[in-house]
Amino acid sequence: MMPDLIRQAAQRLHGSPAGFLRETPLLKLPGAAFGLDCDEVWLKLEQLQTGGSFKARGMLNRLMANPIPGSGVIVASGGNAGIATAAAARALGVRCEVYVPTVSSQAKRDRLAALGAQVVVTGAAYADALQACLARQQETGALLTHAYDQPEVVAGAGTLAMEIEAQGGLPGSVLVSVGGGGLIAGIASWFGQRARVVALEPELAPTLYRAREAGEPVDVAVSGIAADSLGAKRIGAIAWEVTQQHVKDALLLPDAAIRAAQLWLWNEFKLAVEPAAALGLAALQTGAYAPRPDEKVCLVICGANLDPATLAH
C-alpha cells in the first residue's frame, strides 16, 4: 500500500508550486575517497532541499492532499518539520503556527520566523511541544501536520527513495538517521527487500533501538548533539510497522562519532550539515556498519539547519 501512496505523492508533488521542491543531487564517489574498502559511497544531498531538509517533501504532500481551513496549518517540531511546513504554507498562501521545544536551535527558530510562521516555544522536548500543539489544534481546527507519523508525510519522504533509484539505480544499502521514523519508513517502504536499509540513532536518542528491546514502541529519554532533529521520545506507529517488516539493522552511535563525521563532511567536502545528517558517515567511520567490497552504500544527508559557527573547531 505505501509504495502506491509514494507514487501518488510523487505525482501530486510534481504539480507543486513552481520551484518549491528540488531534485537534489546524488554524488557518487569511490569508497577509497572515504578510506573504505567498498565500491562506491553515494551522498544524497537532501540538505539542499527547500527548507534545508527532506521534510519539505512530506509536509507539502500533507498540505496538498487535504483541504486547509481558514485557521491554516499547525505543527510541532524540533525545527526541520516546522521549517518545511512553514515554507510549504507560505508557498500555498496559508497561515502557519509552529510549536517548538526549548531544545530547538536559535538558527531554526530564526528561520521559522523568516518564513512568516507564528512560533511558540514551549516544553523541554519535542513531546512536550506536541502536546501543546495538539491542544491548540483542538481550539483552532487548523490542519495538523505531524512531523513523522502521518501517511502523507511518510509517503512524501518516500519520494526521496524513488529519486535515489531514478538517479543511480538500486544501492546495496541505504543508511538512514532515525528520530520519529518518518524518513526511514518512507525509504524502507519504497525499497522493501531490494536494498538493505539500516537505521541509525544517537546513543542518547535511541527510540527505535529501545522499542526493539521492548518489543513495542516505548517512551525513552532523549538528549545529546542531535536532539533538536532526532529528539522524538517514541518511534512513530508507521515507522514501527514498516521497520519491523523491512529493516533488519538498528545501530547506535556515540555523539563524539557523530560530531567527528559532521566536521569531516565540512572539512573534506565543505558540506555544512546538522549532526543528524552525519550519522551515516559516522557509522562507516566507526565500523558500526561495514559494507562489502562490492557494495554501493548510500548515505542520506538529510538536513542542514544549523548555526555555521558550530563548525568551527
Pick the last residue of a domain from 85, 112, 144: 144
pLDDT for the residue 77: 87
Q: Which helix (H) or strand (E) holds 203?
A: none
Residues 111 and 237 grouped into a single domain? no
| Grid coordinates of 40 | 562506491
DSSP code of residue 278: G
Task: Compute the radius of gyration of the chain from its Cα atoms.
Answer: 18
Check: CB of residue 149 under 8 Å from CB of residue 75: no
Which pTM was predicted? 0.95
Residues 252 and 202 grouped into a single domain? yes
Residues 82 and 223 grouped into a single domain? no
Pick the last residue of a domain from 126, 144, 162: 144
pLDDT for the residue 312: 77
pLDDT for the residue 306: 84
Residues 34 and 92 grouped into a single domain? no
pLDDT for the residue 199: 98
Other CB atoms closer than 10 Å to residue 30's CB: what's the count? 11
pLDDT for the residue 313: 61
Q: Is position 149 within any domain?
A: no
Residues 179 and 299 grouped into a single domain? yes
Residues 36 and 160 grouped into a single domain? yes
Residues 219 and 283 grouped into a single domain? yes
Residues 12 and 63 grouped into a single domain? no
Q: Is position 184 within any domain?
A: yes
238 φ/ψ sector (left φ>0, alpha ψ -120 to 50, else beta): alpha
Q: Domain range for residue 225? A: 2-53+154-311
Q: Is position 138 within any domain?
A: yes
Pick the last residue of a domain from 95, 126, 144: 144
Residues 168 and 113 grouped into a single domain? no
Distances in Å between the Cα of 25 and the Cα atoms of 22, 45, 113 are: 9, 6, 28
Number of structural domains in the chain: 2
Q: Is position 257 within any domain?
A: yes
Q: Is position 131 within any domain?
A: yes
d(CA 184, CA 158): 8
CATH number, domain of 199, equals 3.40.50.1100
Closest Cα partner for 119 from 103, 98, 105, 101? Answer: 98
- Condensed to tens digits (0 to 9), the pLDDT of residues 128-142 reads 999 999 999 999 999
DSSP characters for 35-71?
Answer: T-SSSEEEEEEGGGSGGGBTHHHHHHHHHHTS---TT
Residues 207 and 196 grouped into a single domain? yes
- Condensed to tens digits (0 to 9), the pLDDT of residues 71-96 reads 999 999 877 889 999 999 999 999 99
Query: Which residues lie across from 173 on neighbouring strands?
Result: 196, 297
Weakly modelled stretches of the chain, pLDDT under 70: 313
Q: Is position 195 within any domain?
A: yes
| Grid coordinates of 96 | 502557519
